[in-house]
Homo-oligomer: A and B are copies of this chain.
Amino acid sequence: MNETIQTIMNHRSIRAFKDEPLSEEQITTIVKSAQAAATSSYLQVYSIIGVKDPAKKKKLAELAGNQEYVEKNGHFFVFCADLNRHKVAVEMEGLTEDEVVDSLESTEKFMVGTIDATLAAQNAALAAESMGLGICYIGGLRNNLEEVAEILKTPDRVIPLFGMCVGVPDQNPDQKQRLPLENIYHVDEYQQDETKFIEQLASYNEDIGDYYRERTQGERTHTWTEIIATKMSKPMRLYMKDFLKRIRIPLK
Contacts and interface: CB of A to CB of B under 8 A. Distances in A.
Given A4-B3, A95-B233, A111-B240, A85 B29 contact: no
A158 B11 contact: no
B236 A5 contact: no
A194 interface: yes
Contact of A119 (B121, B187, B225, B232): B121
Contacts of A107: 240-241, 244, 251
Contacts of A139: 40-41, 112, 115
A90 B240 contact: no
B225 A90 contact: yes
Q: Is the interface of A mostly helix, strand, loop or mixed?
A: helix
Interface stretch (A66-74, A126-134, A166-174): A126-134
A13 B34 CA distance: 15
Nearest to A179: B44
Interface in A54-73: 56
A187 B197 CA distance: 46
Given A48-B186, A80-B190, 19 more contacts: A3-B130, A4-B7, A9-B33, A11-B37, A37-B122, A46-B184, A47-B185, A47-B190, A48-B184, A86-B228, A89-B225, A92-B202, A95-B232, A102-B235, A102-B238, A103-B234, A115-B161, A155-B192, A238-B252
